[in-house]
């Protein structure tokens, strides 16, 4: 086990927004300060990806792409979702894209969300782990 945290990205083949989220995460995780992280892509159109999506139990299927931050648990010998300190608290950066119970994001396709998960939103979520 090399990384302390694993970011599970849920997407599907041929989705431009999924491709963009993957690129933004790859660029961010290439920086030295994110050495404790690795990314795991879960294509929800495959059995493995669909199982990972179902096990996440916190993402709306109509709001893909999405990402879920998980942390290595030695006792369980697996990555487990990182709980949010204040579930449902207002988030001025991530707004309605923020997951409710776990640390992560899902795409907000409303007029205000515009279907964008920005680099600033991703950094905001990851910064919570160092607080």
Helix, strand, coil % in the chain, rounded to nearest 5: 35, 25, 40
User: Tens of pLDDT along 22-48?
Assistant: 999 999 999 999 999 999 999 999 999
* 2 pLDDT higher than 90: no
Domains of the chain by residue range: 5-130
**CATH code, residues 5-130:** 3.40.30.10
Helix 119-127 and helix 16-29, axial crossing angle in degrees, nearest 10 = 50
Q: What is the pTM of this model?
A: 0.94
pLDDT digits (tens, 9 = 90+) for 91-100: 999 999 999 9
């Amino acid at each position: 086990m090399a990384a302390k945290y694993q970011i599970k990205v849920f997407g599907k083949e041929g989705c431009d927004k999924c491709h963009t989220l993957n690129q933004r995460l790859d660029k961010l995780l290439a920086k030295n300060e994110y050495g404790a992280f690795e990314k795991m892509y879960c294509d929800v159109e495959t059995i493995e990806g669909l199982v990972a999506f179902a096990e996440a139990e916190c993402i709306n299927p109509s709001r893909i792409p999405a990402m879920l931050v998980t942390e290595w648990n030695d006792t369980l010998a697996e990555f487990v979702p990182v709980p949010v300190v204040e579930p449902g608290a207002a988030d001025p950066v991530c707004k309605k894209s923020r997951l409710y119970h776990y640390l992560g994001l899902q795409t907000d396709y409303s007029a205000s969300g515009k279907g964008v998960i920005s680099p600033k939103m991703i950094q905001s979520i990851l910064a919570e782990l160092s607080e």
